[in-house]
Amino acid sequence: MVIGMQHRALTMIVIGAPVLIAIHFGHRQHRDSIQERIDVIERSQREQISVMEKAHRETIEALAVAINAKDKVTHEHVLRVQIYAAGVASILGCSEPEIEALRAGALLHDIGKIAVPDYILTKPGKLTAAEFEKMKLHTLVGAQVLSRVKAWLKGRHQLLNENGVPEPSRIKVKRNVTQSSRISRGMG
C-alpha cells in the first residue's frame, strides 16, 4: 500500500508538474501579450492627444491672428501679453501645461474686439467717451464667446495639487497672471 501511494504521488508529480509549469508559462505569456497591447493602445492614445492638442493650439492661433489682423497694434499687444504672461508664469513656477494654457488665454484675451467697429480699433488719436464705451464692450463680448469653451478649459487646465485635488490658490494665480501682464505693460 505504501508503495502504491508512493507510485501515485510520483505519477502525479511526473504528470502534474509539467502541466502546472505549462499553465504558469502560458499565463505569463498571455499576461505579457495583454500588457504589450495595452502599451500600444496607450502610446497611440498619447500620440492622438498630442495631435489634437497641436491642432487646438493652431486653431487658437489662427483665430487670434484673424481677429487681430485688422489692427497691427492689437496684434503686437496680444503677442506682448502672451510673452509677459508666459514669463511671469515661469517665474512663479507654473508647469509647462499651465504656461501653454496661459499662452492660449493671452492670444484670446481680446477676442471680443471682433465686435468693435474698425474705425474705433484703427483710430489714430484718443477715443471719444462714446467710442471708449464701445471699446469697453469687447470684454463682455469676449466673455460670451469664450464661455462656450469655459467648461472644457476648466476641466483641461484645472490645477491640481500632489493629491489630485484642485488647489484654489494656484488656480487664482493662473487667472491673474495674464491680467498682471496686461497691467504691467500698461504702466510701462
Per DSSP, 115 falls in state G
Q: Whose grid coordinates read 509647462?
A: 96
Displacement of CA 162 from its chain's centroid (Å): 18
Predicted TM-score of the model (pTM): 0.51
Backbone angles phi, psi at 167, to 5 degrees: -110, 100
Confirm if 181 and 85 have CB atoms less than 8 A apart.
yes
Q: List the chain pLDDT tens, one digit each, 188 residues.
A: 556 566 777 777 878 788 888 888 888 898 888 989 998 998 888 888 888 888 877 887 787 777 777 666 666 787 888 899 899 989 999 888 888 888 888 888 888 888 888 888 888 889 899 998 988 888 888 888 777 665 545 544 444 455 444 454 444 444 555 554 544 444 44
Q: Which amino acid is at 13?
A: I
Q: Which CATH architecture has domain 72-188?
A: Orthogonal Bundle (1.10)
Torsion on CA atoms 48, 149, 181, 162, rounded to nearest 10:
-60
SS3 content of the chain, % helix, strand, coil (to 5): 85, 0, 15
Cell of 162: 500632489
Torsion on CA atoms 60, 61, 67, 69, rounded to nearest 10:
-170
